Amino acid sequence: MERAFGLERLIFFSDAVFAIAITLLAIELRVPEIVETANDAIASQTLWLAIAAEWPRLLAFALSFYIIGAFWIAHHRYFRYIKSYDEGLIRLNLVWLFFVVLLSFTTAILGEYGNLQIAIVLYALNLICAGLAGEALWYHATHARRLVDAALDGRFIRRLQARTLTMLLASLIVIGLTFFIDDYASFGWLLIFVFQGLVERHYRRAGMFK
Amino acid sequence: MERAFGLERLIFFSDAVFAIAITLLAIELRVPEIVETANDAIASQTLWLAIAAEWPRLLAFALSFYIIGAFWIAHHRYFRYIKSYDEGLIRLNLVWLFFVVLLSFTTAILGEYGNLQIAIVLYALNLICAGLAGEALWYHATHARRLVDAALDGRFIRRLQARTLTMLLASLIVIGLTFFIDDYASFGWLLIFVFQGLVERHYRRAGMFK
Amino acid sequence: MERAFGLERLIFFSDAVFAIAITLLAIELRVPEIVETANDAIASQTLWLAIAAEWPRLLAFALSFYIIGAFWIAHHRYFRYIKSYDEGLIRLNLVWLFFVVLLSFTTAILGEYGNLQIAIVLYALNLICAGLAGEALWYHATHARRLVDAALDGRFIRRLQARTLTMLLASLIVIGLTFFIDDYASFGWLLIFVFQGLVERHYRRAGMFK
Amino acid sequence: MERAFGLERLIFFSDAVFAIAITLLAIELRVPEIVETANDAIASQTLWLAIAAEWPRLLAFALSFYIIGAFWIAHHRYFRYIKSYDEGLIRLNLVWLFFVVLLSFTTAILGEYGNLQIAIVLYALNLICAGLAGEALWYHATHARRLVDAALDGRFIRRLQARTLTMLLASLIVIGLTFFIDDYASFGWLLIFVFQGLVERHYRRAGMFK
Separation of alpha carbons B130 and B168, rounded Å: 9
Separation of alpha carbons A134 and A144, rounded Å: 18
Q: Which of residues 8-37 of A touch B (CB under 8 A)?
A: 11-12, 15-16, 18-20, 22-27, 29, 31, 34
Provide, as residue numbers in chain B, all residues whose Cβ is less than 8 Å from the Cβ of A15.
9, 12-13, 16
Q: Could you tell me which residue, D200 or A210, shows the higher pLDDT? A: D200
Q: What is the pLDDT along chain C (210 residues), one digit of tens a residue?
A: 344 668 889 999 999 999 999 999 998 898 988 887 778 888 888 999 999 998 999 999 999 999 999 999 999 989 989 989 988 999 999 999 999 999 999 999 999 998 899 999 999 999 999 999 999 999 999 988 888 888 888 887 888 888 888 889 989 999 999 888 867 777 888 888 888 888 878 777 776 554
> What pLDDT is attached to residue B4?
60
> What pLDDT is attached to residue C167?
86
Question: In DSSP terms, which residues pair with B148 in a beta bridge?
Answer: B82
Average pLDDT over residues A133-155: 89
Separation of alpha carbons D55 and A24, rounded Å: 22
H helices of chain A, in order, are 2-24, 40-52, 55-81, 87-113, 117-142, 154-178, 190-206
Separation of alpha carbons C64 and D98, rounded Å: 11
**Which residue, among B97, B119, B120, B136, has the nearest Cα to B17 in the 3D structure?**
B97
In tens, the pLDDT along B156-174 reads: 788 888 888 888 998 999 9
Side-chain half-sphere exposure of C168, counting CA atoms within 13 A: 13
Percent above pLDDT 90 for chain D: 49
pLDDT bin (cut points 50, 70, 90) of residue B210 is very low
How does DSSP assign D162-175, residue by residue?
A: HHHHHHHHHHHHHH
Separation of alpha carbons D15 and D19, rounded Å: 6
Separation of alpha carbons D178 and A191, rounded Å: 50
Percent above pLDDT 70 for chain A: 95
**Residue in C22, C29, C209 nearest the CB of D87:** C209
Residue A120 near residue A174, CB atoms below 8 Å: yes
pLDDT bin (cut points 50, 70, 90) of residue B208 is low
Provide, as residue numbers in chain B, all residues whose Cβ is less than 8 Å from the Cβ of C116.
40, 43-44, 47
Q: Which amino acid is at C73?
A: I
Instruction: Please state, rounded to an integer, the average pLDDT across all residues of chain B.
Output: 88
The question of ipTM being above 0.85 is answered as yes
| B182-210 burial: b if 16+ Cβ within 10 Å, else e | beebbebbebbeebbeebeeebeeeeeee
What is the C-alpha radius of gyration for chain D, rounded to an integer number of angstroms? 20
Percent above pLDDT 70 for chain C: 95
Beta carbons of A19 and B20 less than 8 Å apart: yes
**Residue in A22, A24, A29 nearest the CB of B105:** A29
Chains within contact range of chain C (3+ C-beta pairs < 8 Å): B, D
Average pLDDT over residues A88-92: 93
Average pLDDT over residues A18-43: 88
How does DSSP assign B11-45, residue by residue?
A: HHHHHHHHHHHHHHGGGG-PPPP----S-HHHHHH
Q: Which amino acid is at B188?
A: G
3-state secondary structure of A98: helix
In tens, the pLDDT along D90-136 reads: 999 999 999 999 999 999 999 999 889 999 999 999 999 999 999 99
Residue B102 near residue B131, CB atoms below 8 Å: no
In tens, the pLDDT along C146-171 reads: 888 888 888 878 888 888 888 899 89
Q: Which of residues 138-167 of A touch D (CB under 8 A)?
A: none
| Alpha-carbon dihedral sign for residues D117, D118, D119, D125 | positive
Separation of alpha carbons B6 and B10, rounded Å: 6
Separation of alpha carbons A170 and D164, rounded Å: 42
Give the DSSP H/E element, type plus range, for residue C172: helix C154-178
Q: Which of residues 111-130 of B touch A (CB under 8 A)?
A: 112-113, 115-119, 122
Separation of alpha carbons D122 and D109, rounded Å: 9
Provide, as residue numbers in chain D, all residues whose Cβ is less than 8 Å from the Cβ of A98.
62, 65
> What pLDDT is attached to residue B87?
85
Separation of alpha carbons D162 and D199, rounded Å: 8
Provide, as residue numbers in chain D, all residues whose Cβ is less than 8 Å from the Cβ of A117.
40-41, 44
Separation of alpha carbons A103 and D61, rounded Å: 13
Provide, as residue numbers in chain A, all residues whose Cβ is less than 8 Å from the Cβ of D78.
none
**Which residue, among A118, A9, A137, has the nearest Cα to A71 in the 3D structure?**
A137
- The pTM for the full model equals 0.93
Beta carbons of C101 and B31 less than 8 Å apart: no
